Amino acid sequence: MLNNLTGLRFYAAMWVFLYHFSVYIGLGNIFFDKGYLGVDIFFVLSGFILTYAYQKSFFGEKITFKTYCHFIIKRFAKIYPLQILTFVIVGILLYCCKYLLHQENLIIRNDHIISNLLMTHAWNINDALSWNTHSWSLSAEWFAYLFLFVLAAFVLRISRFFGLFILITVVVYYIAKWFNADVFSLNQYSYNGLERIVPEFFLGVIICLLRLRYEISKRAATFIFVLGFTLMLLLVIFDYKVDALCILAFGFIVYALSFSTYLDRFFSSARLIYFGNVSFAFYMFQLIAFYLLKPFQNYLEYVGMAEDYRLGLQLLVLFFINITLAAAAYRYFEEPMRVLLVNKLVKSQNRKA
């Protein structure tokens, strides 16, 4: 039913990948430079997909402690294995590069270890990104799982009208706040990423409730997607309040792709669905892929390859490294660990109940 959104996940992860490549290489490409907004697509998607998946247990039935625990266990099992794996790998690379290869400029924040292990490092308690820096968004997602989703469900169960009013008010407040700021970038919210996820996650919840209530035609869904995509392109091209208004465009896109469109082949092909499934690992391994690219990058500079060819070749090799690591992690670690943890933890929780 939501295959289009699975494909969209990969495009979002790829946009973030291009942003990191642009920053690492120093390209200065207007489209690449806004790639950090791919994370915001993930946040809107998160609110939408969770509402869709748990519409009955959280929005249609009484929310029990057991229901909440099962939900948290499943979300924990999905994200924590890769958080720990990439944290350990990045830690090994950092220590090796700093103390064996004498890269003294590397900063190792031992005071951030606990917050990274607890996935609270984006909860406004740290003063900088550290370790696997990309995992800040995972910490923000964890906050949404623990608090935002059940909060949204609670207010909506009291009154659907009142709950929607509250959620819409929160979204409008943040958009207005960001829009009216003299200088604003969503990229300033990373290790302090809670303000970034709150309105975007709630927007995803609102869009899903709208989708569940009203069916639209294939033509209408295609039109709404084109509208959202065009809005996003115009905001990026003209660089007009893009960070404040982008979530509106993402809302249109997510809503449209939750239906069948005339563009489905670009989102729901078997290959795109696979890439969407590995997109989480693809995102989490991006920093590691850059570490592994460095020797190849040094070699290209040593042989004196022309810059244009060198940039293109680096991008291809980096993508190959990243997608290979992601595919292997997804097949041999992420999915097996998710299944194992769900089975173990749910059984344990059931025995206690």
Beta bridge pairs of residue 123? 192
- Residue 192: what are its φ and ψ, rounded to 5°? -120, 55
What is the pLDDT at residue 174?
Answer: 94
pLDDT band at 2 (very low <50, low <70, confident <90, very high): confident
Could you tell me which residue, 124 or 13, shows the higher pLDDT?
13
- The tens digit of pLDDT for each residue in 218-268 reads 999 999 999 999 999 999 998 889 999 999 999 999 999 999 999 999 999
Mean pLDDT, rounded, for 120-145: 91
Mean pLDDT, rounded, for 17-43: 88
Q: Which residues of 160-186 are buried (b: 16+ CB within 10 A; e: fewer)?
A: eeebbebbeebbeebbeebeeeeeeeb
Q: What average pLDDT does the chain have?
A: 90
156 C-beta neighbours (distance < 10 Å), count: 21
pLDDT band at 353 (very low <50, low <70, confident <90, very high): low
Q: Is the pLDDT of residue 346 over 80?
A: no
Mean pLDDT, rounded, for 160-174: 94
Q: How far apart are CA 85 and CA 40, in angstroms?
A: 24
- pTM, two decimals, is 0.92
